[in-house]
Amino acid sequence: MRAASIQPARVRFAPSPTGFLHLGGLRTALFDWLYARHTGGQFILRIEDTDQKRFNPASLENLMRSLRWLGLDWDEGPDVGGPHAPYIQSERRKLYQHYASWLIAQGKAYRCYTSEEELEELRARGLPYDRRHRDLTPAAQAALEAEGRSAVIRFAAPLSGSTTVHDAIRGPITVETHSVVDPVLLKSDGLPTYHLAVVVDDHLMGITHVLRGEEWIPSAPLHQLLFDAFGWEAPIFVHLPVILDPSGKGKMSKRKSVVDGREFSPFVHDYMEGGYLPDAMFNFLANMGWSYDGEREIFTREEAVERFEVTDISPKATALPFGKLDWMNGVYIRQRAPAQLHAELVPYVAAGLGIEARELAQDRRLVELVPLIQERIKVLSEATALVDWAFVPADQIVYPDPSLLIGKKLTAAESLAVLAHCAELVGSVEPFEVSVLEAAFRSQAEKMAIKLGSFLTPVRVALTGRAVSPPLFESMHVLGRAESLRRMANAMAALRAVE
């Protein structure tokens, strides 16, 4: 095992592209990246695609896009190259075949001709593989090959003694080696299993620390035995704690589920498309099993890089606090400069309104609305519902319930009078600015002896079609004088119909 203080670290994120990247995988990649950047080392992306039956090209694109969204850049990988290319396992087949043959030559592996039907029979009887071909004579091996049997290569695990894996956050993990029942290293099609490929690649790529989920703990003794068989120094193992679902009752599922009446998705792309900021997700996932200082929950990337140590990771499972992600995302939204938030909102609002993003980006109305809704949204996708009224033509605003236009403790006639006086103000105030409008409206409310809240209700509903909206006078300025007057005229017509 390498010394725990090694610098700089070389770490790898090595996903199998058989499904879309989930939050647990992204957390692993994040911890890898943080440690590489903390130590001035390298973060390597390696694609473990030896399971060709389940390989999904869309999954590969999805995981790379997800990593880039979070800002996790890799120093070596399939698309950027590096001194240990190729970084896709299916392209490294000859390497694995070479090392498997080397193990056979050293008496540490052997060819096994057991058929799938024979293995199925053992499984049906509840028995493990019985090492039946471990000590074949050359003549017996030749006879099996003459039958046309295909062979896999199995590891000849030691039959006695114990093996200890040193985990940086869990301490030593010791098992009796006889429990490792000669696993397959090289399949009959010449492709390696995960166990051979991961050991060979981690050694050849100079990986110093292996950060992976705790579900790999049962495989760790085998990997240690393989490192020992090759005579290679094993990297430092860090088995990360499992992330539980938001209820805390079980491991996070790799499927969408409903938790406390709300749909929860484990897939990263749902958060990318759902209006979450990468900075918020970065901060959120960094808190899953690691703590900045035990008190601060909000910190910058730079601060996390400076402080991150693998030995500070807790081995305890933690429930994913779904609601806290919304809160944290809202914090980051409020910290955004309006111009940056505007750019981030454009694609969401454009999609919600059904217009071209390029057209909306040039529309001054959204520019003015962004500061008005910045304090009110937790995710970017919530913005459309708060601003759509500003983009609806006046003649398309419908008042299905004209009673909403009636202020508290006012009659329809009194509310109509309010709208009439306010329309006169809107048509005459100069300049048409927020502070001037507000002063004029407050003065008119006092003259009519109506509480300001009740006085403004008919106007608010007239302009936006809803009782709750962004600040009224700012909204009026967004619409402009002419559009505001058109909407107020429509509202007065609706009220006259119910007098």
What is the Cα–Cα distance from 318 to 329, expressed in whole angstroms? 20
Q: Does 254 participate in catalysis according to the annotation? A: yes
How far apart are the C-alpha atoms of 425 and 229, rounded to whole Å?
88
**Amino acid at position 28, single letter:** T
In the three-class reduction of DSSP (H, G, I as helix; E, B as strand; rest coil), residue 273 is classed as: helix
Could you tell me which residues come within 8 angstroms of residue 130 by beta carbon, excluding any fewer than 6 positions away? Answer: 122
DSSP-based three-state secondary structure for 100: helix
The whole-angstrom separation of Cα 286 and Cα 308 is 9
Helix (H, G, I), strand (E, B) or coil at 153: strand
Burial class from Cβ neighbours inside 10 Å (0-12, 13-18, 19+) for residue 166 reads middle
Query: Scanning the structure block, which residue is given the tokens 């006086």?
Result: 421
| List 53, 249, 254, 451, catalytic entry | 254
| Tally of CB atoms within 10 A around 421 | 17
Contacts 24+ apart (CB under 8 A), 465-470: 465/389, 465/392, 465/397, 465/398, 465/399, 466/389, 466/404, 467/404, 469/386, 469/389, 470/369, 470/372, 470/373, 470/376, 470/386, 470/387
Residue with tokens 């304090």: 375
Neighbours of 204 (CB within 10 A): 13
Q: Which residues does the annotation mark as catalytic?
A: 254
